């Protein structure tokens, strides 16, 4: 939906100051009549409600650089084009005086705008009844989403059910944080109200103009994610938060585990899947109608497009407030490498965003099981050197020497991870029959023009952000399709359902068939066999037979399938596995080595030595953001999160 600013609505603008987010009451009520005096004006206000959606997948998203899956160095050249604020979170420099990448003020401003819309939409004289109901439902979903974004970031928060009256006294706006279970209940209530009857459409009527607007599949899928989050260890029986309570002694967390929460989550996931099927939403596969490519390439393009192809068949919700474009400052520009063979010599295309070795190791082997569990692989060989043969030609440049762990990996690794010598299908070269003409990554400094490797800090690039058609042109700029950042894909929903079933009843319960069905659908699209077949054939265990073992499998599948999409950041927090994940330091390969340092064999040996990038820590306080100190000073009824 196109973002349209409304300069007449003073109530929207009255909340820009962080310190008085709830103390200000609307002082421009008279002008609101103008905003709702016609359908044309009201739809502008509806657009403004959408405009506050968090900018997923950009430099303002804490999940981009604030976690442990994407890393970069602090360079002036990069920071002039891409905010590096997220590194302060990754490096443990969060603070309460000026919280890094906080959403507090913006989300509460968004909620005021949504409430203003809901309170005034009945005033629009030329709005048809069905349209008024639909717009109201859309804004209720947005209101739920904004509250959910706050809960993810802060835990228990004040709920803004309605705006304060213009004659409200100063004491009535000094609200308190509400228990986290009540927060989730209210979010679900809003979503249930929005989904009543057939108010929300199953699909948008005009994809060209309405792409990104709320539909019933979006609302029900959001409800599924909300309830899975509410049932997860961070919010369900979390004793670590026992001391967080309001000044009157009201506990903000229920420290008793409630298993029924997983039952509710399971039912919500199934309802969302059903409506998605009704809407024709399905896992994306690339149709090579002309028969140009072999199966390996078709699968590679399928996996690339599943994330970054605009409005593909599995996108449930795309954030049109966050369009990934190839211009400076976007994820495409921040990741796009120079490829060989290439005549481009660009000092601006620097491969800034990298990923640590541990993320490359996370992906499965070609057998669809973890590297450390695959009985056909020797984990002690993973850093040994191998040379690519003809059979590897569509994954690794034939004749290229690289580490053993880059060979015989699952298709998602080759589709979404760029590495030294890795084939990069596309970028202007689409003949997969002639391997010598395919583009590939070359990170060894001095190999061709002496500039390669500059800015490639870890030896890896998150290729997932970059459409396969993207390429550098002769004037050192990027030509690429753009896409709206996916808030939720169908594979995400399938894996949430599998997780909920396992947590509710284990892998051998009444719904076990659907547990394996939906995780195996995601695996099949990735070119892998099902869980049972893969573990039975290639490991020495049947961990899928226990709830704990299946939990590991489902969580690993989510971490791989949704890698680099901003999901890992929140998932490892709600699972309370973040301390374990952060315990593994961030490492990269020795990218400072160059051909002039020795023979190619010597360079390879020096290059493939893990180098420490960052030792991370994660404690109880890091699960939630601090509330800005000045906000607490303005409203003493607010209590600070633990550790801040």
CA distances from 175 to 77, 171, 228, 244, 424 (A): 44, 8, 28, 16, 54
25 has pLDDT over 50: no
CB 106 within 8 A of CB 154: no
| Mean per-residue pLDDT, 125-132 | 97
| Mean per-residue pLDDT, 272-279 | 98
Lowest average pLDDT, out of 14-23, 546-555, 627-636, goes to: 14-23
Helix (H, G, I), strand (E, B), or coil: what is residue 384?
A: coil
Tell me the percentage of the chain whose pLDDT exceeds 90: 76
| Mean per-residue pLDDT, 483-511 | 98
pLDDT band at 171 (very low <50, low <70, confident <90, very high): low
pLDDT band at 119 (very low <50, low <70, confident <90, very high): very high
Beta bridge partner(s), residue 614? 586
Q: Which residue has the higher pLDDT, 350 or 158?
A: 158
Model pLDDT, residue 452: 41
Q: Classify residue 320 as left (phi > 0), alpha (psi -120 to 50) or beta.
A: alpha
590 has pLDDT over 80: yes
Model pLDDT, residue 351: 64
Give exposure, 48-87, as e/b (b: 16+ Cβ within 10 Å): bbbbbbbebbbbbbbbbbbbbbbbbeeeeebbebbbbbbb
pLDDT tens track for 303-329: 999 999 999 999 999 999 998 887 766
124 has pLDDT over 50: yes
Model pLDDT, residue 169: 53
pLDDT tens track for 410-427: 999 999 999 989 999 999
pLDDT averaged over every residue in the chain: 89
Distance CA 389, CA 367 (A): 19
126 has pLDDT over 60: yes
Model pLDDT, residue 481: 93
pLDDT tens track for 345-381: 444 445 689 999 999 999 999 999 999 999 999 999 9
Dihedral of alpha carbons 317, 323, 329, 335, sign = positive
pLDDT band at 546 (very low <50, low <70, confident <90, very high): very high
CB 444 within 8 A of CB 603: yes
CA distances from 119 to 32, 116, 139, 163 (A): 11, 5, 11, 9
The count of other CB atoms within 10 Å of the CB of residue 474 is 7
Give exposure, 198-230, as e/b (b: 16+ Cβ within 10 Å): ebbbeebeeeeeeebbbbbbbbbbbbbbbbbbb
pLDDT band at 560 (very low <50, low <70, confident <90, very high): very high
Q: Which residue has the higher pLDDT, 265 or 457?
A: 265
Match 């803004």 to its residue by tokens: 160
Lowest average pLDDT, out of 330-344, 383-397, 525-539, goes to: 330-344
Model pLDDT, residue 610: 96
| Mean per-residue pLDDT, 286-294 | 90
Model pLDDT, residue 172: 60
| Mean per-residue pLDDT, 582-609 | 85
CA distances from 548 to 91, 502, 521 (A): 31, 9, 21
pLDDT tens track for 431-459: 998 877 888 887 765 444 334 444 578 99
Beta bridge partner(s), residue 418? 461
**Token reading at 625:** 């953001």
Lowest average pLDDT, out of 225-229, 349-353, 354-358, 403-407, goes to: 349-353
pLDDT band at 595 (very low <50, low <70, confident <90, very high): low
pLDDT tens track for 81-106: 889 999 999 999 999 999 999 999 99
DSSP 422: B
Structural domains for the chain: 10-247+625-634 (1.25.40.390)
Model pLDDT, residue 11: 32
246 has pLDDT over 80: yes
Could you tell me how many residues make up the chain?
Answer: 644
| Mean per-residue pLDDT, 127-153 | 98
Q: Give how far the C-alpha of residue 36 lies from the chain's centroid of Cα atoms, to the nearest Å.
A: 35
| Mean per-residue pLDDT, 381-403 | 95
């Amino acid at each position: 939906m196109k973002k349209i600013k409304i300069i007449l609505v003073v109530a929207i603008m009255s909340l820009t100051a962080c310190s008085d987010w709830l103390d200000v009451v609307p002082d421009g009520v008279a002008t609101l009549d103008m905003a709702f005096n016609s359908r044309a004006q009201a739809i502008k206000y509806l657009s403004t409600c959408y405009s506050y959606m968090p900018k997923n997948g950009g430099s303002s998203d804490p999940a981009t650089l604030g976690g442990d899956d994407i890393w970069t160095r602090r360079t002036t050249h990069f920071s002039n084009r891409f905010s590096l604020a997220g590194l302060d979170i990754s490096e443990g420099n969060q603070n309460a005086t000026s919280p890094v990448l906080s959403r507090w003020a913006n989300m509460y401003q968004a909620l005021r705008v949504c409430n203003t819309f809901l309170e005034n939409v009945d005033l629009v004289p030329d709005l048809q009844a069905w349209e008024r109901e639909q717009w109201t439902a859309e804004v209720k979903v947005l209101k739920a989403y904004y509250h959910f974004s706050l809960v993810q970031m802060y835990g228990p928060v004040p709920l803004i059910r309605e705006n304060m009256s213009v004659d409200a006294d100063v004491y009535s706006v000094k609200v308190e944080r509400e228990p986290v279970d009540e927060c989730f209940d209210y979010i679900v209530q809003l979503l249930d109200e929005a989904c009543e009857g057939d108010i929300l459409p199953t699909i948008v009527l005009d994809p060209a103009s309405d792409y990104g607007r709320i539909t019933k599949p979006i609302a029900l899928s959001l409800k599924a994610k909300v309830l899975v989050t509410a049932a997860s260890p961070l919010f369900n029986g979390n004793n670590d938060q026992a001391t967080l309570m309001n000044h009157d002694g009201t506990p903000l967390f229920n420290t008793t585990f409630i298993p029924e929460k997983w039952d509710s989550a399971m039912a919500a996931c199934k309802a969302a899947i059903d409506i998605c099927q009704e809407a024709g939403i399905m896992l994306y596969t690339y149709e090579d109608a002309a028969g140009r490519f072999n199966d390996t390439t078709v699968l590679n393009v399928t996996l690339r497009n599943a994330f970054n192809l605009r409005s593909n068949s599995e996108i449930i919700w795309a954030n049109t407030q966050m369009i990934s474009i190839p211009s400076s400052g976007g994820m495409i520009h921040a990741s796009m490498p120079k490829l060989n063979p290439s005549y481009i010599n660009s000092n601006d295309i620097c491969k800034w965003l990298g990923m640590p070795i541990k993320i490359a190791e996370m992906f499965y082997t070609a057998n669809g099981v973890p590297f450390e569990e695959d009985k056909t692989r020797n984990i002690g060989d993973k850093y040994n050197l191998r040379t690519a043969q003809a059979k590897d030609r569509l994954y690794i440049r034939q004749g290229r020497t690289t580490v053993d762990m880059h060979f015989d990996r699952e298709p998602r690794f080759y589709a979404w991870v760029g590495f030294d010598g890795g084939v990069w299908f596309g970028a202007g070269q689409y003949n997969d029959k002639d391997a010598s003409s395919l583009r590939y990554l070359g990170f060894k400094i001095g190999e061709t023009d002496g500039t390669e490797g500059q800015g490639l800090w870890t030896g890896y690039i998150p290729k997932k952000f970059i459409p396969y058609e993207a390429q550098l042109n002769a004037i050192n700029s990027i030509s690429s399709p753009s896409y709206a950042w996916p808030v939720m894909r169908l594979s995400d929903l399938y894996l949430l359902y599998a997780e909920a079933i396992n947590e509710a009843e284990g892998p051998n319960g009444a719904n076990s068939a659907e547990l394996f069905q939906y995780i195996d659908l995601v695996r099949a699209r990735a070119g892998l066999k099902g869980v049972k077949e893969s573990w039975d054939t290639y490991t020495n265990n049947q961990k899928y037979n226990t709830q704990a073992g299946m939990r590991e499998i489902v969580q690993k599948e989510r971490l791989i399938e949704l890698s680099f999409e901003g999901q890992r950041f929140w998932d490892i927090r709600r699972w309370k596995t973040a301390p374990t994940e952060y315990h593994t330091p961030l490492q990269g390969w020795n990218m400072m080595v160059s051909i002039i340092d020795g023979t190619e064999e010597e360079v390879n040996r020096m290059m493939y030595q893990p180098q420490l990038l960052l030792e991370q820590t994660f404690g109880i306080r890091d699960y939630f953001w601090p509330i800005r100190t000045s906000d607490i000073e303005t409203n003493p009824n607010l209590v600070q999160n633990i550790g801040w």
